[in-house]
Amino acid sequence: MRAHRTLALIGALTVAVLTAGCSEPSAEAGHGDTGGKGDAETAMQRATRALNSVEPESAAREDAGTASLSAGLDGTFAARGDRPYTFDIACQAAAEPHTVVLTLARGAAESEWEVECGDREADQFNIPAGAPFTATVEPAKPGVDGLVLWRLNTVAPEDVVDCADDITGCES
């Protein structure tokens, strides 16, 4: 079994609905509604810091994006060339604690990973070069507001830690 780097973003945090609506401040935050924009910007900054914290020096960004938890994530990604990839993901949710399930798939192989929202560092998954792969996070239940940030990087082979293929998995 591989020792997966689970990387935390933040503790309690208020996050605005990214697509529409107003934010609901966390009771733990201790402050009132700021209209949502400030909360969304803060969540984005913290998630970005979490992604940056796991990015090796050899990383070359191939793709990146943001999705609201209410919309989920459903992407197909190219994994061309000879260098391995990392798929890094971080999430923020107004209702903490909250987790999402990331499904990585390529061909008939599929794996599911639990990603905790509010962690200080992003979760990082190793993907070998080859055929395109998909990454999916199902939309959150109504009333769960937040965001998912992700990055796809190529990395030097020596920066691949633990299992080289988090889609098919590795035996220990």
Q: How far is CA 124 from CA 74, 151, 164, in A?
A: 17, 9, 12
Look up tokens 């960004």; give the residue.
61
Tell me the CATH architecture of domain 37-159.
Sandwich (2.60)
Query: Measured on CA atoms in the order 136, 94, 142, 19, is the torsion positive or negative?
Result: negative
CA angle 157, 160, 162 (to 5 degrees): 140
Confidence of residue 36 (pLDDT cuts 50, 70, 90): low
Region 1-28 average pLDDT: 29
Tens of pLDDT, residues 108-149 = 999 999 999 988 899 999 999 999 999 999 998 888 888 999
Q: What is the pLDDT of residue 37?
A: 65
Confidence of residue 172 (pLDDT cuts 50, 70, 90): low
The pLDDT of residue 96: 65
Q: What is the pLDDT at residue 112?
A: 96
Is 90 exceeded by the pLDDT of residue 75? yes
26 has pLDDT over 90:
no
